[in-house]
């Protein structure tokens, strides 16, 4: 649609549909978000800060940030790797590989947690073996990292695959024929071409790692001050009837969510993420 | 992709490296844990497995989960098409804000969504203080589950339908108009068939997400067995009771639903691609 011609007057249907959409969005999305910050700041900024700086909550913030620092780079590397593989080469089993990459996206977070429990737990496949050699993974921080890797494995790949498929390998072939080696080609040709989609995938991956609840609640054991991430801390405070505390903790994650959608809107003007599914 | 690019498939470097790394990573992070769970379920034996998955409490959980997910999906299907239509076809102030807000339910952690919804509908909450005097209770009822499912899966239908709607060429609609079709006929006969595969794909994703939803639902549902106990919550309860067999069997049921979803969406994608090829 071009904006060159003056817009015709709005029809009744148009006004009705726009109005309905705005009203529904206001009640379903805007009001809940407003509630988070209102409840968090209700008792004043001092009480808010005291709630955030409570030792257990602060530790949960630390653990959540740590999980993101560990998990996001690994899944960026995996995403680039698998996207290169499936968009630049044809090989038997390619479709299966794509399907397995996307699998965690359709699996319930609770089921993801249960899967890890039956792999590394004492009831599980490798658990007894690990226990015999003195290694305990379940209900540790490592288990939180592992299950977060599972849950967010497709995030970067899903943004890169459609883009790299569409770009094709011509630029890279040109670089090689001009004498670049493989790493030079990757750094100077591939990476600049995919950087915004890569960044967008990383932003989505980060939001999910920080917010993951179901899978982490199965494998972490939710030990206060030890293996409690922010989403678990929110739930714990809520069950303790500490509403102000839980909303203070929730507001930090809601703030990150708002940053995520702002980043998305900014990146979309660069043509990123428009073809990607969620 | 051009034919030359396909011919020179091994001209580009990194096939061995990326194949090796991808397969190793997927095996350790994705395949092995799923296999471990399936092995656990297989070790139960057919009779025990059947006893668990067909128990009365499990059946009640399926019924609540599936019916709630169905209602949520119908709502999100309608709301999603409305949003996609308004975002693609109309220009109005605040459109970019609306466009960004649509993604918020994916960016917002499910636990935060759950906490927020249960507070909204509580006795002193912003919605609860209006609704409860009218006799409408949302918290700890199936309505709460449906609302949590709606909130957490809003973006699916919008984001699948929107790009297809953007791609529709205006000349098809113009042709229909010059042939005397009304606006409703244009939508029903020209636009709807084109967006249908994307619409169904979005609905399937939305339904699947709702079936497995935990964080959003657990706050608002309470856990009244047979009334507000969804499957993911029942799995969690079984784990809490150290009933690992029960958890494994029910998790396998949800896993099969996930596989089925993936299969259906893949089939729909190839259907949609064929559709788009034909319309070119």
In CATH, what number is assigned to the domain containing residue B211?
1.10.3720.10
Record the pTM.
Answer: 0.90
CB contact (8 A) between residue B100 and residue A108? no
Residue B2 falls within a domain, yes or no? no
Q: How many CA atoms lie within 13 A of B193 on its CB side?
A: 10
**Which residues of chain A are within 8 Å of residue B105 when distances are taken between CB atoms?**
29
Residue A3 has pLDDT above 50, yes or no: no
Q: B71 and chain A: CB distance < 8 Å anywhere?
A: no
Residue B195 falls within a domain, yes or no? yes
> Would you state the pLDDT for residue B2?
44
Angle, helices A230-239 vs A55-88, to 10°: value is: 140
Residue B4 falls within a domain, yes or no? no
Residues shown for chain A: 278
Q: Tokens 């804000």 sit at which residue? A: B97
Q: How many CB atoms lie within 10 A of CB B135?
A: 6
pLDDT tens for B107-133 read 999 999 999 999 999 999 999 999 999
Same domain, B138 and B22: no
Q: B232 and chain A: CB distance < 8 Å anywhere?
A: yes
Query: What letter would DSSP give residue B134?
Result: G
Backbone φ, ψ for residue B83 (5° rounding): -60, -45
Residue B61 falls within a domain, yes or no? yes
> Would you state the pLDDT for residue B265?
82
Query: Under DSSP, is residue B107 helix (H, G, I), strand (E, B) or coil?
Result: helix
Lowest mean pLDDT among A10-14, A48-52, A253-257, B64-68: A10-14
> Would you state the pLDDT for residue B272?
72
Residue B7 has pLDDT above 70, yes or no: no
Residue B7 falls within a domain, yes or no? no
Rounded CA separation A118/A123 (Å):
6
Same domain, B23 and B49: no
% of chain A residues with pLDDT over 90: 74
**Which residues of chain B are within 8 Å of residue A30 when distances are taken between CB atoms?**
101
Total domains in the fold of chain B: 2
Range B81-93 average pLDDT? 94
Question: Sign of torsion, CA B149 B152 B154 B160?
Answer: negative
Lowest mean pLDDT among A182-191, B46-55, B168-177, B266-275: B266-275
Residue A33 has pLDDT above 80, yes or no: yes
Same domain, B124 and B205: yes
List the 72-101 stretch of B: residues with Cβ below 8 A of A.
79, 82-83, 85-86, 90-92, 94, 96, 98-101
Same domain, B235 and B264: yes
pLDDT tens for A40-81 read 999 899 999 999 999 999 999 999 999 999 999 999 999 999
% of chain B residues with pLDDT over 70: 94
Angle, helices A141-152 vs A55-88, to 10°: value is: 40
> Would you state the pLDDT for residue B3?
44
Range B227-234 average pLDDT? 92
Range B41-60 average pLDDT? 93
How would residue A278 be classed by pLDDT, with cut points 50, 70 and 90?
very low
Please state the domain extents for chain A: 35-76+107-152+194-268
Q: How many CB atoms lie within 10 A of CB B95?
A: 13
Same domain, B35 and B123: no
Mean pLDDT of chain B: 90
Angle, helices B56-89 vs B192-212, to 10°: value is: 140
The superfamily CATH assigns to domain A35-76+107-152+194-268 is MetI-like (1.10.3720.10)
Same domain, B105 and B213: yes
ipTM: 0.90
| Facing A29 at nearest CB: one of B21, B23, B104 | B104
Same domain, B60 and B26: no
CA distance B214 to chain A (A): 6
Residue B258 falls within a domain, yes or no? yes
Query: What letter would DSSP give residue B188?
Result: I
Residue B36 falls within a domain, yes or no? yes
List the 117-136 stretch of B: residues with Cβ below 8 A of A.
117, 119-120, 125-127
Strands (E) located in A59-213: none
Rounded CA separation A255/A251 (Å):
6
pLDDT tens for A193-216 read 999 999 999 999 999 999 999 999
Residue A188 has pLDDT above 60, yes or no: yes
> Would you state the pLDDT for residue A138?
86
CB contact (8 A) between residue B251 and residue A110? yes
CB B233 within 8 A of CB A87: no
A181: nearest CA partner in chain B: B13
Q: What's the domain range around B214?
A: 45-279
Lookup: tokens for B192: 């709807």
CB A260 within 8 A of CB B107: yes
Range A222-245 average pLDDT? 89
How would residue A226 be classed by pLDDT, with cut points 50, 70 and 90?
confident
Rounded CA separation A18/A21 (Å):
5
pLDDT tens for B182-207 read 888 999 988 999 899 899 989 999 99
Rounded CA separation B152/B160 (Å):
16
Range A1-15 average pLDDT? 68
Same domain, B83 and B32: no
Residue B279 has pLDDT above 60, yes or no: no
Range A104-118 average pLDDT? 94
């Amino acid at each position: 649609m071009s904006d060159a011609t003056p817009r015709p007057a709005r029809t009744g249907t148009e006004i009705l549909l726009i109005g309905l959409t705005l009203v529904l969005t206001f009640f379903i999305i805007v009001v809940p978000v407003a509630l988070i910050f209102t409840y968090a700041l209700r008792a004043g900024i001092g009480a808010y800060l005291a709630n955030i700086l409570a030792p257990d909550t602060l530790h949960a913030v630390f653990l959540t940030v740590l999980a993101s620092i560990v998990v996001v780079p690994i899944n960026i590397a995996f995403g680039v790797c698998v996207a290169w593989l499936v968009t630049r080469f044809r090989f038997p089993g390619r479709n299966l590989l794509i399907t397995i990459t996307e699998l965690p996206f359709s699996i319930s977070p609770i089921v993801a947690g249960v899967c890890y429990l039956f792999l590394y737990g004492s009831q599980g496949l490798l658990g007894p073996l690990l226990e015999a050699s003195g290694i305990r993974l379940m209900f540790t921080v490592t288990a939180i990292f592992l299950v977060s890797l599972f849950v967010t494995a497709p995030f970067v790949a899903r943004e890169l695959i459609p883009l790299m498929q569409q770009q094709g390998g011509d630029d890279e072939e040109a670089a090689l024929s001009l004498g670049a080696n493989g790493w030079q080609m990757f750094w100077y040709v591939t990476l600049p071409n995919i950087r915004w989609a890569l960044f967008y995938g990383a932003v989505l991956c980060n939001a999910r790692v920080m917010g993951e609840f179901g899978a982490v609640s199965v494998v972490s054991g939710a030990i206060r001050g030890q293996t409690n991430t922010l989403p678990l801390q929110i739930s714990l405070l809520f069950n303790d009837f500490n509403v102000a505390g839980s909303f203070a903790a929730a507001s930090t994650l809601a703030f990150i969510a708002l940053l995520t959608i702002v980043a998305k809107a900014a990146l979309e003007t660069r043509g990123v993420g428009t073809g990607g599914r969620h | 992709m051009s034919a030359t690019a396909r011919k020179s498939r091994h001209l580009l470097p990194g096939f061995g490296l990326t194949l090796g790394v991808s397969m190793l990573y997927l095996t350790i992070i994705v395949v092995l844990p799923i296999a471990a769970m399936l092995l656990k379920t297989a070790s139960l034996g057919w009779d025990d497995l059947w006893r668990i998955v067909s128990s009365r409490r499990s059946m009640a959980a399926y019924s609540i989960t599936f019916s709630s997910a169905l209602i949520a999906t119908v709502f999100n299907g309608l709301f999603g098409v409305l949003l996609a239509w308004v975002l693609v076809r109309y220009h109005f102030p605040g459109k970019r804000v609306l466009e960004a807000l649509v993604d918020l339910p994916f960016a917002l952690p499910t636990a935060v969504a759950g906490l927020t919804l249960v507070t909204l509908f509580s006795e002193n909450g912003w919605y609860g203080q209006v609704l409860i005097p009218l006799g409408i209770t949302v918290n700890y009822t199936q309505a709460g589950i449906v609302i949590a499912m709606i909130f957490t899966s809003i973006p699916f239908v919008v984001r699948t339908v929107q790009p297809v709607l953007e791609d529709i060429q205006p000349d098809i609609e113009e042709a229909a108009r010059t042939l005397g079709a009304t606006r409703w006929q244009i939508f029903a006969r020209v636009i709807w068939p084109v967006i249908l595969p994307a619409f169904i794909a979005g609905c399937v994703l939305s339904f699947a997400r709702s079936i497995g939803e935990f964080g959003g639902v657990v706050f608002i549902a309470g856990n009244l067995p047979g009334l507000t106990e969804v499957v993911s919550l029942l799995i969690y309860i079984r784990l809490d009771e150290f009933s690992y067999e029960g958890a494994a069997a029910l998790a396998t049921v949800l896993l099969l639903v996930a596989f089925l979803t993936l299969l259906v969406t893949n089939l729909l994608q190839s259907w949609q691609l064929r559709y788009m090829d034909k319309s070119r």
